[in-house]
């Protein structure tokens, strides 16, 4: 086995030995009762987590599969892609690559998506779908999901498609209460599972929209997910080992209690924030819009980020991220999501202090 370098990059994150162990079940057939029982067992836990009465679907893909799938299933006329970072900007590109008419509501990287601005654009009547990213992982910005989702009441015919890949399970997101049309996430962020599984739910209205669109493809066809889900199955052979891991993580989350889980993420994130302030760094995201799952630190001290990460890796066997795309070197990101504890984040902070002093 290769040396264990602990991951404090914002995905993939650390996977616990207990999760790996839970995944080491003998393989089963995906059309047999064993799998159907597994699927049925996790549905109530997933519905509780998503805050929905709808089915929660398991897609054997990374989150991008469902992000692309949402465009293919739900955009008939034109989609408004809210762009404020690398993942949301890419979604605009993906919409166009799917052959859809798409327009950006472009915000400077580091700024949040604001409901008033979304409202102005939807008021044109041009759009029948909108995408936005709850927690922009590239910039550490948490956008006001409740305010944006509240627009659904004003624009009931617009599909509200939400990526909460790196926000989900770190702050409360209740699908039915928010009235969203799609909520999607992935396994390798706060779920603290290996990559390869995306999870999503979709509204009745989304299923109706999909039924009227005829080039949905197959692999990400929402109606395939629904009809297979009714039989406790997936459209194609799923990543069964990961689903065993998911069952374990769901049990852990519910045993901890969701409110405790959200409080833990806020507390650990606060510990990282304290380190940032104590060392004279600034936050890339403005106050009030900062992620609870990661911290995007502005490199206002102009440290050598690559050397800093090198020291963390060689002396402490852990890595953080050196900045996404055009923010490389200008920012660095520290994740606190998943199974982290006060002790593990304290150890990261001690490592950050030690490495900073050695620069
Ligand atoms: C990680 C991430 C994605 C992409 O996930 P993949 O699993 O690489 O497809 C999309 N959106 C956000 C906000 C992310 O953090």
Domains of the chain: 6-13+257-357 (3.90.1150.10), 17-254 (3.40.640.10)
Max CA distance (Å), the chain: 61
Q: Please indicate whether residue 252, judged by its CB atom, sits closer than 6 Å to ligand 1.
A: no
β partners of residue 185:
199
Cα 278 versus chain centre, distance: 29
Q: What is the pLDDT of residue 2?
A: 87
Centroid of ligand 1 to alpha carbon of 305 (angstroms): 23
Centroid of ligand 1 to alpha carbon of 64 (angstroms): 6
Q: What is the pLDDT of residue 1?
A: 81
Centroid of ligand 1 to alpha carbon of 12 (angstroms): 10
Q: Which atom of ligand 1 is nearest to the CA of 64?
A: 9
The phi-psi region of residue 177 (left if phi > 0; otherwise alpha if psi is between -120 and 50; otherwise beta) is alpha
**Would you write out the chain's pLDDT as a tens digit for each of its 359 residues?**
889 999 999 999 999 999 999 999 999 999 999 999 999 999 999 999 999 999 999 999 999 999 999 999 999 999 999 999 999 999 999 999 999 999 999 999 999 999 999 999 999 999 999 999 999 999 999 999 999 999 999 999 999 999 999 999 999 999 999 999 999 999 999 999 999 999 999 999 999 999 999 999 999 999 999 999 999 999 999 999 999 999 999 999 999 999 999 999 999 999 999 999 999 999 999 999 999 999 999 999 999 999 999 999 999 999 999 999 999 999 999 999 999 999 999 999 999 999 999 99
Q: What is the pLDDT of residue 5?
A: 98
Which residue's CA lies nearest to atom 5 of ligand 1? 63
Centroid of ligand 1 to alpha carbon of 182 (angstroms): 15
Q: What is the pLDDT of residue 201?
A: 98
């990213």: which residue's tokens? 133
Rg for the chain, CA atoms, rounded: 20
Cα 165 versus chain centre, distance: 1
Provide long-range contacts, Cβ within 8 A and 24+ apart, for 63-68.
63/163, 63/165, 63/184, 63/185, 63/186, 63/198, 64/94, 65/198, 65/219, 65/220, 66/182, 66/184, 66/198, 66/200, 66/220, 67/91, 67/94, 67/131, 67/163, 67/184, 68/94, 68/98, 68/220
Pocket test for ligand 1, best of 69, 112, 137, 183 (most atoms within 8 A of CB): 137
Q: If DSSP codes are grouped into helix, strand and coil, which group holds residue 175?
A: helix
Q: What is the pLDDT of residue 238?
A: 98
How many helices and strands (H and E) does the chain possess? 13, 14
């Amino acid at each position: 086995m290769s040396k264990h370098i602990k991951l404090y990059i914002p995905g993939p994150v650390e996977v616990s030995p207990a999760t790996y162990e839970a995944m080491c079940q003998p393989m089963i057939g995906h059309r047999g009762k064993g799998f159907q029982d597994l699927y049925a067992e996790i549905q109530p836990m997933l519905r509780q987590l998503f805050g929905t009465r709808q089915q929660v679907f398991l897609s054997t893909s990374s989150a991008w599969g469902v992000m692309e799938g949402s465009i293919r299933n739900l955009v008939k006329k034109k989609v408004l892609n809210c762009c404020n970072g690398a993942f949301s900007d890419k979604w605009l590109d993906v919409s166009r690559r799917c052959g859809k008419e798409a327009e950006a509501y472009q915000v400077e990287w580091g700024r949040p998506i604001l409901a008033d601005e979304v409202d102005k654009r939807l008021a044109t009547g041009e759009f029948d779908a909108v995408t936005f990213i709850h927690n922009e992982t590239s910039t550490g910005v948490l956008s006001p999901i409740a305010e944006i989702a509240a627009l659904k009441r004003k624009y009931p015919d617009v599909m509200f498609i939400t990526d909460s890949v790196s926000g989900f399970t770190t702050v409360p997101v209740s699908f039915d209460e928010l009235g969203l049309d799609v909520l999607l996430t992935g396994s390798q962020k706060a779920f603290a599972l290996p990559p390869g599984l995306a999870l999503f739910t979709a509204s009745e209205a989304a299923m109706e929209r999909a039924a009227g669109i005829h080039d949905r493809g197959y692999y990400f066809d929402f109606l395939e997910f629904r009809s297979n889900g009714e039989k406790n199955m997936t459209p194609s052979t799923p990543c069964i080992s990961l689903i065993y891991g998911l069952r374990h993580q769901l049990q852990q989350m519910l045993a901890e209690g969701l409110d405790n889980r959200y409080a833990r993420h806020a507390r650990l994130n606060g510990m990282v924030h304290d380190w940032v302030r104590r060392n004279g760094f600034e936050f890339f995201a403005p106050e009030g819009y900062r992620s609870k799952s990661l911290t995007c630190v502005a490199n206002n001290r102009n440290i050598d980020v690559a050397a800093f990460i090198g020291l963390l890796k060689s002396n402490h066997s852990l890595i953080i991220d050196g900045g996404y795309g055009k923010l490389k070197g200008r920012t660095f990101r520290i994740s606190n999501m998943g199974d982290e504890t006060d002790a593990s984040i304290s150890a990261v902070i001690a490592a950050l202090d030690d490495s900073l002093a050695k620069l």
